[in-house]
Structure 1
Amino acid sequence: MLDRLRDIVQEVNAARDLQTALRVIVTRVREAMNTQVCSVYLLDNDINCHVLMASEGLRQESVGHVSLQLDEGLVGLVARHAEPVNLEEAQSHPAYHYLSETGEEEFCSFLGVPIIHHRKVLGVLVVQHKEKRSFDNGEEAFLITLSAQLAGVIAAAEASGAIQGVSPSGQRRADTSFAGISGATGVAIGQAVVVFPHADLNLVPTRTVTDINAELHDFARALNQVRTDIRQLSATIGDQIRPEEKDLFEVYLRMLDDDALGREVSELIQQGNWAQGALAEVALDHVKAFEQMKDPYLRERATDIKDLCSRVLSCLQESDNDKPREYPDETVLVGEELAPSMLMEVPREKLVGLISVKGSGNSHVAILARTMGIPTVMGALDLPYRRLDGRQVIVDGYSGTVYGNPSEQMRTRYLDVIKEEEELVRGLEGIINQPCVTLDGHQVSLWVNTGLMSDVVRSLDHGAEGIGLFRTEVPFLLAERFPSEQEQAAIYREQLQAFAPKKVTMRTLDIGGDKALPYFPIEEANPFLGWRGIRVTLDHPEIFIAQARAMIRASEGLDNLQIMLPMVSNLQEVTGSIQIIKRALRELQEEGLDVSMPPIGVMIELPAAVYLTRAMCQMVDFVSVGSNDLTQYMLAVDRNNPRVADLYTSFHPAVLHALKHVVDAAHAEGKPVSICGEMAGDPASALLLVAMGFDILSMNASTLLKVKAVIRSVTLADAQTLLKDVMNLSDPQSIRASIDMALYNAGVERLLRSSRTS
């Protein structure tokens, strides 16, 4: 059965559309299970019915026309309980519902299993038989296993239709929504521009073109280039390989012939497809066909085709890179996994929104998006993003939703939301130069997190009192090699000068986890528990000392530098880091620079560091909590994994108790404590953080005025009463509800939408 299962899954995966996939399923499953009927019912949310979408054994004229209400019949029973129903005599079951159009009255036995994707029941897979027949455990398990494997394929095919404005049963639809995770708040309406990695056939988006001749010309040139490369390779190594291996080069050349792959690609281009997309579609069709072949030799040829077409794609992309990329005025950047470098390629004034299929609301690109104030949706796993290019989309960064083919009514509604947000921001401008002080006189310092020079300008405009976190890895991520000491010093000097005499806290290089340098790859099975942060730089003191020297050099004459150490888990790491920083200082002083030892601090991001806070405070000048990673490690939830994103919350009681412990331990040693994670920029979280006693809240500039408005609207006494109440609660939802009510009572409910991202 395993071989049959694998064959069916491969064949369904190769289908080009939903209907083809469903026809393959019903035909092959009926054969595999030696039964007389196999049918697929899919839920159509537009009409709230389960629609018979494909069948082998029932009347074909009923397919696409027969539907059942959500709770109707045995199909409804399977869907409602999300579990199999196996009946020897279906007609005797009280839930049985007779459908005369299908001709199913002659079939007695029934086995239905749910098709479930991401906890949602998409539909029901059914087999039926004329004679009384009890489908055995093995058959039921086979159908359940098959259903589970095919759920993703069906969901993807449904989503592709939805983005074209068509429901599973063929109904026209608008305002198609795809759920993700909020990466950065706000709303964006714009044109989708799909970006993708180099030479990956699987990720090339669908795109239409008007200049067909230009695409044909580019494709012909790429083909000729690869043919030339193959001939040269054959000539170079021809004497070193066996004759039969040399014959493979001729096979490759014939594959690229105008009567083979070349012709198929050209035909698709002539239909209006761009060359890269046409090549990817043809190549992947052939790869799938060869992968399904029984003969091992022929099956291995799939790799040859993929390699060959990847070479052609690479040539196409190289020629495409020579042309300047034009971005629409309102660009929504879309990709399977967006990287910071991709954001930098779009002119800032044109970039209005971001959509990333992978990643979560606390992945690095989301943090960067919040810094830049760009509405972002992460983890939109079901989004058929390759079909989005050139389409108008709406990015709802508040709810984490992407809308394809939006109606005019929806556009108008979201334009009103954008206008309301702009009015709110303008209304807060009056408090820019006012102190951040509670109604009963308790003052809190609001600092900012930065990574780019553009962040600094925005931060000063919003009244920031200092930089609580300068992410020094951002310049490293945007470079093609490790920046030199002089290059780093120039970048750091800009930040320090712009904020002088206000303090600037520079975190030493924090790579690893979800922040990989392209020129310094770190391959690990579990990167978040591996080689990252201070562990990397202590193992590479040449990198650490160059950065420490650059920081201290940049501070000459300004004296507003603070250095912070990330991912510290033990006291030895603190000792080793301080020794390297002291060595850098001593070397610079010996070179004649007038510099002094900057304050040193540690980031509390790990549970181990939480319980070492007091001991660390005896060695350093300040501590700062990184709430993003602390939440991740406290809850054992990968913050980049959208499948468990609903488990990631800083309002978890364990996280709140850990934060309070850090504040109490730091203050017991007389050391200031700040927080620079995303909690600090959430107006709801700010109430609790102030009550806990955090001296500094450091956040993205875009949220600073909202946090200030909340703090200025409450008393410290009320915030402390709220903290006392929520510390006795046992679940994040109750805690969140209590905070929302406090904000409502304080008269700042207009800020609630902006705080829904936590």
Structure 2
Amino acid sequence: MLDILRRIVQEVSSATDLSDALKVVVARIRAAMNTEVCSVYLFDPESKRYVLMATEGLKQEAVGRVSLSSSQGLVGLVGSREEPINVDNAPTHPRFHFLSETGEDPFLSFLGVPIIHHKRLMGVMVVQQRDSRQFDESEEAFLVTMSAQLAGVIAHAEATGNILDIPSATNERKKSTRFNGAPGAPGVGLGQAFVLSPAADLSGVVDKEAESVDDEIGRFDLALEAAREEIRILGEKLSSELRPEEMALFDVYLNMLDDHALGAEVKARIREGSWAQGALRQVVMQYVGHFQLMEDVYLRERATDIIDLGTRILAHLQGSDAHAQEYEFPDDTILVSEELTPAMLGEVPPGKLRGLVSVKGSSNSHVAILARAMGIPTVMGVVDVPYAQLHGLELIVDGYRGQIFSSPNDELREQYQAIFDEEQALQKDLQVLRDEPAETLDGHRIPLWVNTGLITDAVRSLERGAEGVGLYRTEVPFMMKDRFPSESEQQKIYRQQLETFAPNPVTMRTLDIGGDKALTYFPINEANPFLGWRGIRVTLDHPEIFLVQIRAMLKASEGLNNLRIMLPMITSVSEVDEALHLIYRAHAEVLEEGFDVEMPQVGVMIEVPAAVYQIRELGQRVDFLSVGSNDLTQYLLAVDRNNPRVADLYQAFHPAVLTALKMIADMAHEIGKPVSVCGELAGNPLGAVLLMAMGYDMMSMNATNLPKVKSVIRGISREWADQLLAEVLQIESAPVITATLQLSLEKAGFGRIIGPGRN
């Protein structure tokens, strides 16, 4: 059966359209199961009917013409119960519905299984036989397995428009198909898909001996220099969009192409007798294999960088200058690729780029970091989309929810166009609030700070009225380099951040790598990185890294004294004690060097359940507490929010999360320590209202969301927020809590702020 299944899947995958695929399925399954009938009914959500779309054994003239309502017959029962129905005498079943047009009257045995894709019912697959018997367990299992494979085929057909032939009892309406990924950069983009593929295929290169080693090295040198020049040109195209700190990524690319790096290894293979293309493939695939075996998301994505560079060199070796050619991009380009790379962004004129879609990657990919800096709506990790078939189709990119829609109908297009227009108008309207305080109608003031990582973030934050930095991600400069930055390099970067916001405070989180963030030059290979060596655990094990970073921070703060230091991933008081010992030591060393630097405030991040229950003990050792709501939610709910398959289970308004947040705020106030939130919940106007009511002293957020949060806070009273919090804390369901918050804020006149796609 397994061999048969593989052959069917292979044949179905090579079918040109859905109609052919369904014909293959019913024919092959009927033969494989040695039964008399196999049929596929597709569910039309518009008319709520099951339409017979393919059959072997029933009358062919019934295909496309015969349908059942969602509650009719055994087919409807399979769909409504979403489980197999296996009966030995179908006509005697109380739900049996006879369809005379199909000629099914002689068949007694019936086995139907639902076709489901990501919780969505796509249709029902049925086999029938004249004899009265129940299909056995192996036959049922085979049909269930086949239906799971077919579900993906149908979903792909929807994405490319091939499924629009389903006859409908209602007026024909174009169906939109949604695919889920991970949010890469916020915003809404509407436009035309442009699929960008590699110019050459490394995997297809064969091994050959070099006829002349010198000639092959000469060819490789020319190709290597051409690839370097290409990267320089692409970097220059983006230079007006990015700050020097982000542009450093292109320096990393150039360093990787250096004669002493990848180039040297390829030449060594050529000298061993391989031709240039083969040597290049061997070296690149060796790197890629090394990275792809790693569990860490960020490290696996560095394999993408290596492949991108390798294919660029190969294109020049093969005489194909495809990467450097001028594509004719539409004015509303949605750039789509199996694996987007930063260099690909340089291919599209910035004025034409409306959105980005990548099948692979996560919100921490290099390309996502750059997209956020450039303000381009991006969705990463759209694993189920048939990307190669999207070229030229109309797409909508929802960077807030991490979703894309192909071939949207008029209603959906109008909805997202309205969101896009509203976003543009709202940003203009909110600019007037820049210098106004976030103060409620009854006089409660709460400072709004920002989360930054790139200097672009800092500039954008000041433009939006930020009062300080609640989280500066120091790992971003580390991720942009191919080695640990020196103390003086770090000092320069930190000084820039501190000067930009002075005299307002800047909270610098010590190096937070591990989990979904890693450094190529400091690999962390673990089976479960989120529960492994990350955050403070890494830096305490490497005091030489920690001390250099702290010294750089302290020196950068001289004369400004607006530095605050924050320790990530704290799970015990011993970690805090050890870190404080090192910080005091670094401060003493900096003073000995002649720097006049005050001892900064030190705080801890509350982002794992263990820390929630040690607020009193942790708070007695530090100056402030800051909740990392993203990780706290992830650890409380055991959900990886970057995994698109379970992303819908990551619920910021889960009752357990809200209870934990309230408990943290209450305990912090009991011991007299200020407490803030620096996760995404603070930047969501719905969440900000609850956090303010819980008593948080400050909220830090993405600069884009700051004006929206300020607008809501200035339009409500603290008393109103307190009553809303009391109401939602009694609710047991996250979706109901979310709906309650949305309705309450809409009634309060904030429909524009919390409109669709923004939460």
Paired position in structure 2 for 1:483? 485
Paired position in structure 1 for 2:28? 28
1:19 positional shift: 3.8
Matched residues in 1 for 2:78 and 2:202: separation? Answer: 39
Paired position in structure 2 for 1:552? 554
Matched residues in 2 for 1:83 and 1:595: separation? Answer: 68
Indicate the SS of the match to 2:645: helix
Query: Could you list the per-position Cα deviations for residues 375-402 of structure 1 after superposition, in whole angstroms to 9, with x for gaps in the alignment?
Result: 3445645432232244432224466542
Paired position in structure 1 for 2:619? 617
Matched residues in 2 for 1:728 and 1:126: separation? Answer: 46
Paired position in structure 1 for 2:193? 192
Equivalent pairs counted in the alignment come to: 662
Task: Please list every run of 5 or more consecutive structure 2 residues that lacks an aligned counterpart in the other structure.
Answer: 217-273, 278-308
Q: Is the 8 A contact 1:468 1:676 kept in 2?
A: yes
The one-letter code of the counterpart of 1:663 is A
The one-letter code of the counterpart of 1:188 is G
1:716 positional shift: 1.6
| Residues 746 and 126 of structure 1, relative CA distance in 2, 3 Å threshold | closer
Q: Name the stretch that deviates more: 428-437 or 10-19.
A: 10-19
Q: Is the 8 A contact 2:559 2:597 kept in 1?
A: yes
Q: Is the 8 A contact 2:122 2:151 kept in 1?
A: no
The one-letter code of the counterpart of 1:679 is L
| Residues 227 and 364 of structure 1, relative CA distance in 2, 3 Å threshold | closer
User: In the alignment, does 2:584 pair up with 1:582?
Assistant: yes
1:566 is aligned, of 565, 568, 585, to 568
The one-letter code of the counterpart of 2:110 is F
1:674 positional shift: 1.2
Q: Is the 8 A contact 1:72 1:97 kept in 2?
A: yes
TM-score by length of 1: 0.78
Indicate the SS of the match to 2:752: helix
| Residues 198 and 446 of structure 1, relative CA distance in 2, 3 Å threshold | farther
The one-letter code of the counterpart of 2:689 is L
Task: Please list every run of 5 or more consecutive structure 1 residues that lacks an aligned counterpart in the other structure.
Answer: 203-221, 236-252, 257-309
**1:452-467 alignment to 2 at 5 Å?**
452-467=454-469
Indicate the SS of the match to 1:643: coil
Paired position in structure 2 for 1:239? none
The one-letter code of the counterpart of 2:18 is L
Q: Name the stretch that deviates more: 124-133 or 373-382.
A: 373-382
Paired position in structure 2 for 1:636? 638
Paired position in structure 2 for 1:671? 673
1:597 positional shift: 2.5
The one-letter code of the counterpart of 2:67 is S
Matched residues in 2 for 1:96 and 1:754: separation? Answer: 43
**1:23-102 alignment to 2 at 5 Å?**
23-45=23-45, 48-102=48-102
1:75 positional shift: 1.9
Q: Is the 8 A contact 2:471 2:507 kept in 1?
A: yes
Paired position in structure 2 for 1:597? 599
**1:231-250 alignment to 2 at 5 Å?**
none
| Residues 618 and 746 of structure 1, relative CA distance in 2, 3 Å threshold | same
**1:111-510 alignment to 2 at 5 Å?**
111-148=111-148, 150-159=149-158, 162-164=159-161, 166-167=163-164, 169=166, 174=174, 176-180=176-180, 183=183, 186-194=187-195, 227=208, 315-316=314-315, 323=324, 330-335=332-337, 350-357=352-359, 373-377=375-379, 380-397=382-399, 401-406=403-408, 411=413, 414-510=416-512
| Residues 575 and 194 of structure 1, relative CA distance in 2, 3 Å threshold | farther
Q: Is the 8 A contact 1:156 1:384 kept in 2?
A: no
1:679 positional shift: 0.7
Q: Name the stretch that deviates more: 16-25 or 466-475.
A: 16-25
The one-letter code of the counterpart of 2:128 is Q
1:463 positional shift: 0.7
User: In the alignment, does 2:748 pair up with 1:749?
Assistant: no
Q: Name the stretch that deviates more: 687-696 or 348-357.
A: 348-357
Paired position in structure 2 for 1:241? none
Q: Is the 8 A contact 2:182 2:643 kept in 1?
A: no
Q: Is the 8 A contact 1:178 1:401 kept in 2?
A: yes
Paired position in structure 1 for 2:287? none
Q: Is the 8 A contact 1:360 1:642 kept in 2?
A: no
| Residues 632 and 320 of structure 1, relative CA distance in 2, 3 Å threshold | farther
1:532 positional shift: 1.6
Indicate the SS of the match to 2:404: strand
Query: Could you list the per-position Cα deviations for residues 343-389 of structure 1 after superposition, in whole angstroms to 9, with x for gaps in the alignment?
Result: 68877655433435567889998788667654344564543223224
Q: Is the 8 A contact 2:626 2:678 kept in 1?
A: yes
The one-letter code of the counterpart of 1:138 is S
Matched residues in 2 for 1:628 and 1:28: separation? Answer: 48
| Residues 741 and 178 of structure 1, relative CA distance in 2, 3 Å threshold | closer
| Residues 77 and 605 of structure 1, relative CA distance in 2, 3 Å threshold | same
Q: Is the 8 A contact 1:175 1:404 kept in 2?
A: no
Paired position in structure 1 for 2:220? none
2:652 is aligned, of 650, 653, 658, to 650
Matched residues in 1 for 2:549 and 2:675: separation? Answer: 24
The one-letter code of the counterpart of 1:176 is S
Matched residues in 2 for 1:380 and 1:633: separation? Answer: 24
Paired position in structure 1 for 2:229? none
1:335 positional shift: 4.7
1:699 positional shift: 0.6
Matched residues in 1 for 2:346 and 2:505: separation? Answer: 27
2:628 is aligned, of 617, 626, 629, to 626
1:691 is aligned, of 685, 693, 696, to 693
Paired position in structure 2 for 1:662? 664
1:736 positional shift: 2.5
Paired position in structure 1 for 2:542? 540
Indicate the SS of the match to 1:735: helix
Paired position in structure 1 for 2:303? none
Q: Is the 8 A contact 1:178 1:382 kept in 2?
A: no
1:65 positional shift: 4.5
| Residues 346 and 506 of structure 1, relative CA distance in 2, 3 Å threshold | farther
1:469 positional shift: 0.9
Q: Name the stretch that deviates more: 331-340 or 743-752.
A: 331-340
1:433 positional shift: 1.0
The one-letter code of the counterpart of 1:461 is E
Identity score, percent = 56
Paired position in structure 2 for 1:284? none
Q: Is the 8 A contact 1:366 1:376 kept in 2?
A: yes
Q: Name the stretch that deviates more: 189-198 or 588-597.
A: 189-198
Q: Name the stretch that deviates more: 182-191 or 684-693.
A: 182-191
Q: Is the 8 A contact 1:226 1:311 kept in 2?
A: no
| Residues 347 and 560 of structure 1, relative CA distance in 2, 3 Å threshold | farther
Q: Name the stretch that deviates more: 711-720 or 542-551.
A: 542-551
Query: Could you list the per-position Cα deviations for residues 213-266 of structure 1 after superposition, in whole angstroms to 9, with x for gaps in the alignment?
Result: xxxxxxxxx97x965669989x9xxxxxxxxxxxxxxxxx9xx9xxxxxxxxxx
Matched residues in 1 for 2:554 and 2:642: separation? Answer: 34
1:465 positional shift: 0.3
1:591 positional shift: 3.2
The one-letter code of the counterpart of 1:178 is R
1:740 positional shift: 2.8
Q: Is the 8 A contact 2:453 2:474 kept in 1?
A: yes
Matched residues in 2 for 1:87 and 1:690: separation? Answer: 59
1:448 positional shift: 0.6
The one-letter code of the counterpart of 2:730 is N
Matched residues in 2 for 1:443 and 1:741: separation? Answer: 24
Q: Is the 8 A contact 1:360 1:639 kept in 2?
A: no
Matched residues in 2 for 1:540 and 1:497: separation? Answer: 29
